[in-house]
Structures are given as C-alpha cells and as structure tokens.
Amino acid sequence: MKSFRVLPILALLAILSACQDMDVVNLNQPDRERALQEPSAVEALLTSGFYHFYEPTTDAYAMVHFVLANEATSSLSSRGIFDLGRQPRQAFDNSPTYGYRWFIQWPWESNYRGISNVTDAMVAINEGMRFTDGTKDNTPRGHAFIKFIQGISHGYLAMMFDQAIILDETVNLEDGVPEPSPYPEVMAAAIGYLEEAIQVAEANAFQLPASWLPQRPLTNTELAQWAHLFAARYLAAVARTPAEREQVDWSRVAYHAERAGDADASVEGDGWYWWFAGGWYGQTWLRGAYELLGPADESGRYEAWRASPLMERQPFTIVTSDRRIHGEEGPTSEGTYWRWHATSPFSSARGDYFQSLYENIRWEYHRLTGALGPCPVFQKEEATLLRAEARLRAGDIPGAVELINVSRVGNGKMERLSANISAEEAWKWMKYEKLMEIAFVQGGHAFAERRGWGDLICGTLLHFPMPGAELERMLMPIYTFGGTAGGAATPPDCMP
C-alpha cells in the first residue's frame, strides 16, 4: 500500500512528522509499510482524528480568538491575549520567533496531523482494505468518519487562514507538496468532504467506537447530523466581509442546518486530554465583553459606554430582562450563564476598556470538576439561528423572528419578539442570540460570525496568515494582516 505519510513531503514533512501519536505505528520504523497493511493498525489511525481538530481549536490558545471577537475581554499577556485584544488593533506578529505564535501554529499543525492520519486510512480503503470485526464490514463507518475529519479540519483552516494546502487521498506527495490554495477553494473542498461523509453515513447503519469521540459512540444518523451542522457553520463562516456573507448560498446553509438535529453535541472531558478553555478559564482569565452582553442592557448604560472615548470606558452593571445575564432578584443576582462581580480583575494601566464585571458560569462545572463533564462541540441553537439568518436574508422577518424567539424566550426568559418588528431589530436580536449561545465554545467561531456581519473592531485582521514558521519552511515570504498591514476590517464594515 502506498502510504500517504511515508512519501517525501518536503516542507510539509516538518508538520506531519513533528509529533506522532503514541498509539500509532512509528513511521520511521523499517516495518511501517508492513504494519500499515494490517486493518487493525490502519483503523487505529482514526482514533486521533477528532482530537487533532478539537484540542487546538478549544484549548488555552482559543482565548485569543475570544478576545478578537469581543465575546471575551482580558488584559492578560499570556497566550497573546493582550497583543490581539488591545485597541487600536495592531498588525499580527507572524515572525517564526514570536513568543505566542502557537495560537496559530498549533491549529495549523495539529489539523494537518489529523488529516494525515485519516488520509492514510482512506488510501488503504481505496486500495481494497476492509475493516471487519469478524461478522460485519465496518469499512463504511471508517469511510464516513474519514471524510468527516477531512471536512471539519479543512473547514477550520479555511475559516481561520487566508490560504491552506488541500490534502487528501488523491494527492501524490511524490510529486511535491501542493501549492497553498485560497480560502474559498479550501472551504469548497471541506464542504465536499462533509457532504460525502453525510452520503456514506446516511446510506449505512453503524455506530462509532467510543474511542473515536470520547464517550460519544455516535450512530450513523448522529454522525450525519454533526456533519450537517459543520457544513452549515462553515458555509456561512467562510465569508470575510458582509459582501461575501451576502453571497453565501443561504438555501444550502438552511438545508444543512435543518438536518443537523436538535441536540447539543459534546465530547466528554477526562481531566487531562479532553477539556476546553471556555469552561476552564471562563471564570479566571476571561470576562464577558460588553460588546457581547451590552445589547441586552435596558438602562442606557451600554450606549453611553460605547459613546465614551476608548480609554475612559468604565465597567457598569447591566439591567436586563435576559435571565442568562442576571436573575429576577436584580442586576447583581446570578444569571444562568453569567455572574456579576462588584469589581473587575484587570489592571487599569492597560486600559479600562478591558474591564468587565461579568464572568461566564455556563460551563463552570468543567473547572469545578477538574475538567470533567461535557465539552461542547456545538449547541443546538446554532443551527436554529443559522436558519433564522437565512430567513432574514430571504426577507422573511416573521419566519426569522419565530426562530430567534426559541432561545430568546426558552433560555433568556425574555419577552417574545413581535413578528412585525423592523428588519433592523430582527438583525440585532438574531446576532445577539447567536453570540450569546456560542460564546466561549470554539475559538474562531464568534470571530468568523462578527467578521461576516461587519462587527469586528476596526483594524482587526480578517484572517490569519499561514504561520511564519511554515512559510519559512516552504521558502515563501513572510507576510501578515491587521492594523495598518492590510487584510483588516475597515469602515463601514467594522465597529470603531
């Protein structure tokens, strides 16, 4: 069998061989080719596929993406939080020696490791290998899962980077590493993989091993639902500007969102490998940004805060009917998602605009149990609100409002919006609900939503460059985005 990873990979070799999984055959051993002829060894490659996607997109480096999107605020230096969160926005330091480079380098490298692992298995399937347990042919489940991993990994790279390398079983690396492709092409490939995963999953009954997704032995129907949701998410999230988001095929988004099911998706935290930063650091390093919570304020303080000069913005107490922010007892009582504090923990020396009185407690159980419990992959509200946006773009305000009210009333206990509200009001509350429900889950998701809506802070980069270390390995010029370096949100498609 021609293995995907043993071929001469040139610059990409540094990525794919940088760190091998402990439970995968050592690729440098002379008997590697023989080992990869064994179905059990090849199928074992799939066990790390989702981890390589999930871990770098939700770990501590995800906090940088939270502050970029103004879903969270923090003036701490760690992980590059201050560098990327400060205002006015600065150009991203894409030097291979930048101290916090890992928040883009790690997602890049780890996703390619996952792609490499599952693609080896796809090569084997295409060459005739079958995965069986003695009584049943399990090859279709492997095929569906491989395409799912190829889809979500390429999709994340397309969502976050300006370009990436498309790698699958059709690529012969003996011919050299493919040239990077622009993000629309990478995303088109990702959606193709996800739709193939859906097709195979819907045509074959199976259940995934629990080791492939921690304690989530998905059925074929459930795997198809996960793939539908990621397809809907990525179709919308690939847009870099409001003009690009307007051009999204929203009927296709709605199609996938409608088939995503109505259950929250998660993996199980194990206190070590499987955890997520939103739950672990949501009450310590981060606070909820007023740009996230403020639209629900009914006191007028948020508008005053927004109108104040940047360096004079002081933290304030929100008054709202949204019970996710505070309870019925009053503005300082605990909400279901947020907890008020009398003071903010951040140093004023770096700017009071970093200050916030609100910590996220929606996922507090994760920290209190030592990183156990469900680690969210997506919330059911995401699909509902993607459908709401599709209806807004089609001019169906009453239909959109019906979907916006699902979480607004069900989770927020707020007054039901009238079907006769203006388009402006409907857009305001659709955005608010979406950001509230996806907050602190996956790094980059809220960033991509705000980017496409034109709601990033002016000067925020629209996407990340290929990591400087990778550009250096590929003998490509080092470039960057953000601030005055280009590739940044500019008026009118941004917030001052």
pLDDT of residue 1: 37
Determine what percent of the chain is predicted with pLDDT higher than 70: 93
Record the tokens describing residue 434, joined without a space.
């979406």
pLDDT of residue 215: 85
Task: Provide mean pLDDT across the span 268-296.
Answer: 95
More confident residue, 433 or 9: 433
pLDDT of residue 2: 39
Which CA distances in Å does 99 have to 94, 95, 106, 444?
10, 9, 13, 20
For residue 267, the cross-strand partners are 375
Among residues 83, 85, 59, which one has the least CA distance to residue 72?
85
pTM of the model: 0.93
The CA distance from 286 to 446, in Å, is 15
pLDDT of residue 9: 34
Query: Average pLDDT, whole number, for the chain?
Result: 92
pLDDT of residue 34: 57
| The dihedral formed by the CA atoms of 465, 469, 470 and 474, expressed in degrees to the nearest 10 | 120
Over residues 362-396, the pLDDT tens digits come to: 999 999 999 999 999 999 999 999 999 999 999 99
pLDDT of residue 214: 87
The CA distance from 201 to 225, in Å, is 10
More confident residue, 393 or 23: 393
Give me the half-sphere count of Cα atoms (radius 13 Å) on the Cβ side of residue 298: 11
Task: Provide mean pLDDT across the span 204-223.
Answer: 94
Over residues 350-364, the pLDDT tens digits come to: 999 999 999 999 999
Task: Provide mean pLDDT across the span 298-324.
Answer: 97
Q: Is the pLDDT of residue 425 over 90?
A: yes
Record the tokens describing residue 424, joined without a space.
């402006």
pLDDT of residue 134: 80
What's the pLDDT band for 133 if we cut at 50, 70, 90?
confident
pLDDT of residue 19: 36
DSSP-derived letter for residue 88 is S
Q: Is the pLDDT of residue 233 over 60?
A: yes
Four-residue CA torsion sign, 218, 116, 25, 52? negative
pLDDT of residue 11: 39
The CA distance from 285 to 62, in Å, is 12
The CA distance from 199 to 193, in Å, is 10
b/e burial code for range 287-303 (CB count within 10 A of at least 16 → b): bbbbbbbbbbbeeebbe
pLDDT of residue 35: 56
Q: Is the pLDDT of residue 185 over 90?
A: yes
Single-letter residue type at 403: L
